[in-house]
């Protein structure tokens, strides 16, 4: 169980600075030696960037870490992404 930081600040993601937000999440993960830290938030950022494959990866990381969501619940989204025509957003 993690202690201390429970919620990332809504800084860069709120202003569409997705790469900066992901960079800060990566730095936090590295400093705290926790590769799943803020996985759901990272998934949402990737989803907003249109990188649905990475979004699904992050959501699965979060699901496995917290046990709060069955990974099978993400399968419909993953299938939608794999069946999406190139260049079109998947599952939307």
Instruction: State pLDDT tens for residues 12-24.
Output: 555 578 899 899 9
Q: Is the overall model pTM greater than 0.85, yes or no? A: no
Taking domain 16-83, whether its CATH number is 3.40.50 is answered by no
Q: Does 91 score more than 50 pLDDT?
A: no
Q: Is the pLDDT of residue 36 over 70?
A: yes
pLDDT > 60? residue 7: no
Looking at per-residue pLDDT, the higher value among 59 and 70 belongs to 59
Nearest to 59 by CA among 91, 86, 11: 91
């Amino acid at each position: 169980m993690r202690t201390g930081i429970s919620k990332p600040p809504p800084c860069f993601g709120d202003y569409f600075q997705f790469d900066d937000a992901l960079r800060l999440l990566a730095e936090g993960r590295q400093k705290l030696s926790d590769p799943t830290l803020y996985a759901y938030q990272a998934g949402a950022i990737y989803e907003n960037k249109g990188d649905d494959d990475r979004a699904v990866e992050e959501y699965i990381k979060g699901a496995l870490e917290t046990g709060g969501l069955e990974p099978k619940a993400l399968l419909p989204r993953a299938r939608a992404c794999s069946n999406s025509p190139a260049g079109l957003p998947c599952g939307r």
